[in-house]
Amino acid sequence: MHLRGGLSLYLRNGKVGVYDLSKDESSEQELEETATWESSSSVLIAKQLAEEHGADSLILGTGLLTYSFLPAAAAGLIRGPPDPDGRERIVPVLGFAGSELKLSGFDFVVVKGKAETPGYLWIRDGIIEFVRAPEMLETDSWKRIDRIRADQGDNEIQVMANGPWGDNRIPRSQLVIDYWGGEDKVGMGADFGAKGIAAIAVRGMGEFEVAEPEGHFEDAVLLMREHIQKLGKSEGLASYSAVAERDDFKKLVHRNVACYGCPFPCRSFVKIEEDPQELRLLVKEPGYLHFDIPALEKAFELGLDARTATSAMIVCAKAGAEPYTVLSMAGSSGKVTPEAIKALLADSSVAERLPPDGPPGNFERSFPDGEDYRRCTGLGLCSRYWAKVGFDMGTIGPFAEAVVGRRLP
C-alpha cells in the first residue's frame, strides 16, 4: 500500500514521473495527498504540475477513479500549453490508454524540454525511457503504433501516436490513440511535434488497493445495472448521436467496442475492406472505429456516403490530421473526393490556409457546461457516458469514498 503522511493512497501509485527530453533523464516526485474532490482533479493537478515544471510541459495524467469499477472509469488526460488566448488545452485519453497509464506505475507523467533526436517515449512498470527513432517521422501514425508494439513485443501496448501533420506542427493536427482519432480536438499533435515526440506508449502490470473492495465492487455493479436498465439496448455510436443512424452507416457496422469499464459503448467499428459480417481475422486493416461525432457530421453534411466518410477518416488518422478541419477545407474548395483529401493532407503549404476557427469539441461538448466536462474527466470518468446517465457528485461521492476510504468534501 502507498502511504503519504500516514494516509493510505488508495487507487493511486503515489508517483509523478518526470522526463526531461533535453537532458535525456528521468526523475520522480511524490504525488501529494489531496483533501477535497476539487483538489483531487487530474485537470487541476496537471495544471499545478505545468506551473511547477514549465508552461511548455506536456502532462499526462489519470483521475482518482480511473480504473475503478465505477462505470466508464476510463479517462486519463494529456494537458498541453494553453492556446494563444490563454485557454486550457486538454485531450481526454480513453479506450484502454487512460487505465494503462495508471497501471504503468505513474499517476502523472511530466514531459519537458525537447528531444535532440526524435523518437518515442516508452512508459512501463515505473520506468520512463525515450527511444530514439528518427525514421519514425517518415511513417504514418498507424505504422508507428505497429512498430512500437512489434519492437516491444506486446500487441496490447497503448499508444498515443503523432502523424506527419503533428511532426510539421500544423495547428490542426490530431493525436490518434491506438489508431483512432476523436479525442484530440486541440491540436496536441503539434505539441508532440515541437518536442520531437513521434508517440507515447504505455503498458504496465500495476495493482491497486481500494479501501472497501467488496463494497466498492457490489455498489458499482448495482449502479451499472441501474444505468443499463435506464439506457436500454446499446446501438453503439447511434445510441449517442443521430449521425450513426443512417442506413448506409448501420449496414457497415461490424461490432461496437467499449472503453475500459464502459457498459454502453459509443464506439462503432465500420468495415469497408471486407464484409462487415465477417468474424474471422482475415484483413489486417478492415476499417475504422467511429466515435468522432463532429467529423462524421461534417462528412455527411458534405454529401459523403458512410464508406467514403470512413475512408476519409482513415487517411486523416494516418496523417495525424483533424478530420473536421480537413473535410471543411475540402468542402470549401468544392472537391470532397478521396483524391482531393489525400492531396490536401500531403500539401506542405496547408498550414497557411487553415480555417481561423478550430473544430467543435467531441467529448468536450458532452455537457453544456465546460466545467462539468473538466470535473468529470478530472475524476477519471468518461464525459460522454456520464453526461448520458447524469453526472452528479451526490451519487458518485459515496461510491468514490468506498474507494479512497475517507470522506472528500
Positions touching other proteins (CB under 8 A) are 11, 67-69, 96, 99, 103, 124, 142, 146, 149, 152-157, 178-179, 203, 205-210, 213, 217, 221, 224, 228, 234, 254-265, 269, 271, 279-281, 283-287, 289
How near is the Cβ of 386 to other proteins at its closest, in Å? 15
Strand 25-30 relative to strand 58-62, pairing: unpaired
Burial pattern 77-113, b for ≥16 Cβ within 10 A else e, equals bbbbbeeeeeebbbbbbbbbbbbbbbbbbbbbbbbbb
Q: Which CB, 100 or 191, lies closer to other proteins? A: 100
Shortest gap between Cβ of 217 and other proteins (angstroms)? 6
Single-letter residue type at 394: G
Name the residue nearer to other proteins (CB basis): 336 or 403: 403
Which C-beta is closer to other proteins: that of 270 or that of 341?
270
Length of the chain in residues, anyone? 409
Query: Pick from 336, 406, 354: which is nearest to 40 by CA?
Result: 406
Q: In the block, which residue shows the cell 481500494?
A: 210
Would you say 67 or 108 has its CB closer to other proteins? 67
User: Minimum Å distance from CB 253 to other proteins?
Assistant: 10
Asked if 323 and 174 count as a contact pair (C-beta separation under 8 A), the reply is yes
- Least Cβ distance, residue 354 to other proteins (angstroms): 29
Q: Give the nearer residue to other proteins in terms of CB position, either 90 or 316.
A: 316
Which one, 234 or 241, has the nearer CB to other proteins? 234
- DSSP assignment of 133-181 equals -GGGGGS-HHHHHHHHHHHHT-TT-EEEE--HHHHTT-TTB--EETTB-
Count CB atoms within 10 A of the CB of residue 348. 8
Q: Which residues pair with 108 in a beta bridge?
A: 16, 61
